[in-house]
Every structure is written in structure tokens, then in C-alpha cells.
Amino acid sequence: MNASYTADDLIVAPATALTRSALAVIRGSGPKCVETFAPVFSRPEILTQSKGNRVHYGWIVDKEGSPIDEVLVTVFRAPASYTGEDAVEVSCHGGSMAASKILELFHQ
């Protein structure tokens, strides 16, 4: 695979192993990161209006609005994030099922 990325790309990937565990973390970083995650969060306006370093409780939902998993979503605002860009962390239930379904929302 020959993939190249630019500073304009949004990256969404697991931050923890997709294996048996109490929780899994999915991270997103890049331009419009918060705006990209907001539509799949049960309270999108909370994310888009969030200041940095804030944690929000809710659900990740599919395109039809059906819940996928109960989550905590942490918003980090540039430049005070670990990447220097806007970033989002989704903490969901562990194992591979919930995290894989959430990742699929961003890779369609």
C-alpha cells in the first residue's frame, strides 16, 4: 500500500488495541475534526460548541440515528492538543465490536 498524507487530511484511527479490554479509544486529528465527529455523536451541538480539554457523555450513532455505543468524547482544541491540531478522542466499550463499528463510520 502506498499511502501519502498531507496536513489537510483528517486521520481517524484506534489509539488502543482492538482486543479484549475494558475500553477502547479512537482518536481523530486534523482539520474539521470536531465537525466530522459531531454528526455521529448524539449531541452534536455540544461537540461543535465545546472548548478544549472537555469531556462529553453521549452515544455514537449510525447514519439512521441508531445508537452504536455509549461513549465519552473528549475535545482538544488547537494548538493545545497533542498534535497541535483540533483532535477528538472517543472512549467506548472495549473489545473490537464497538470500536470497529465506530471506525467504519469514518471509513465509508
State the pLDDT confidence band at 9, using cuts at 50, 70 and 90. Answer: confident
- What pLDDT score was predicted for residue 84? 93
**Is pLDDT of 1 > 60?**
no
CA distance 89 to 75: 7
Is residue 2 very low, low, confident or very high in pLDDT (cuts 50, 70, 90)?
A: low
Domains in the chain (CATH in brackets) are 27-106 (3.30.1360.120)
Mean pLDDT value across residues 80-99? 94
Asked if the model's pLDDT at residue 97 lies above 90, the reply is yes
Summary mean pLDDT of the chain: 93
* Confidence bin at 47 (pLDDT 50/70/90): very high
The contacts of residue 72 (CB under 8 Å, 6+ apart) are 55, 56, 57, 90, 91
CA nearest 23: which of 106, 84, 102? 102
Counting residues of the chain whose pLDDT is more than 90, the rounded percentage is: 83
CA distance 93 to 71: 7
**Per-residue confidence at 75, pLDDT binned at 50, 70, 90?**
very high
Bridge partners of residue 88, in order along the sequence: 28, 75
Q: What is the mean pLDDT of residues 26-34?
A: 95
